[in-house]
Amino acid sequence: MGVPCIVSDGDYEAESVCSTMTVEKITVATLTEDTDCVIFGDGQMLDPVLIRKELSFTKEQFTDLSILMGCDFSGTLQKVGHVTGVKLIKEHKNIEAILALNKYKHGPDFNYVEAREVFKNTFKIPEVWRDENFWEHLESKKNSTLLQKFLVEHNVKNNGLEMSYMLESFLEDSDG
């Protein structure tokens, strides 16, 4: 289809790559429903700084809250959702202190330490991506007609929202 795609040469999650590209202003936003992008810092999905300020949480506390609420990298504590999670982090500050209460059960997949490390290991933007000519070259190879066909054939919906700015700008100069 000629749609630019990126394959990271490191052990990075796609959310980390996409979020870092948005933070570094390589892209306008990340098109995803995966809230892990919030932890990686994607301000166009949600503004994690604003949420942390509203909750008076440090980045570490906000990361622990997100792990408690559920992320791709760890299981959760039983019967702890966003309301209880916020309350527990406000009161106890971190997962270790919550676990010390011996009140909340978890399965063997509760790998919160590893999840924290994944969130700390953010993607590093290659210098070539900062070169305007690199993106112009990719832009010249796109085929928006094939992209439109793919979206229709796979019944891709926009969940009642306006089509994203990225897709609109991609399709507005259709070459078909």
Using CA atoms, how far apart are residues 117 and 26, in angstroms rounded to an integer?
Answer: 24
- What pLDDT is stored for residue 169 in this prediction? 47
Q: Is the pLDDT of residue 28 over 50?
A: yes
**Does residue 104 share a domain with residue 48?**
yes
Same domain, 115 and 149: no
Question: What's the DSSP call for residue 64?
Answer: H
Q: How confident is the model at residue 4 (pLDDT cuts 50, 70, 90)?
A: low
Same domain, 110 and 176: no
Say yes or no to pLDDT of 85 above 70: yes
Average pLDDT over residues 53-79: 91
Helix (H) or strand (E) holding 20: helix 14-23
Are 101 and 66 in a shared domain? yes
66 and 105 assigned to the same domain: yes
Q: Give the whole-angstrom CA distance, residue 116 versus residue 73.
A: 9
What letter represents residue 131's amino acid?
D
Does 110 share its domain with 150?
Answer: no
Tell whether 170 is covered by a domain.
Answer: yes
Whether residue 20 lies inside any domain: the answer is no
Span 121-142, average pLDDT: 79
Which of 120, 153, 168 terminates a domain? The answer is 120
What is the percentage of the chain residues whose pLDDT exceeds 90?
30
Q: Report the SS3 class of residue 106.
A: strand
- Domain membership of residue 89 (yes or no) is yes
**Is the residue at 113 inside a domain?**
yes
Rounded Cα gap, residues 72 and 20, in angstroms: 17
Full residue range of the structural domain in which residue 103 is found: 36-120
- CA-CA distance, 88 to 81, in Å (whole number)? 10
Asked if residue 25 belongs to a domain, the reply is no
| Domain count of the fold of the chain | 2
Q: Are residues 54 and 109 in the same domain?
A: yes
Could you tell me if 114 and 148 lie in one domain?
no
* Whether the predicted pLDDT of 63 surpasses 90: yes
Q: Which two tokens stand for residue 144?
A: 């928006």
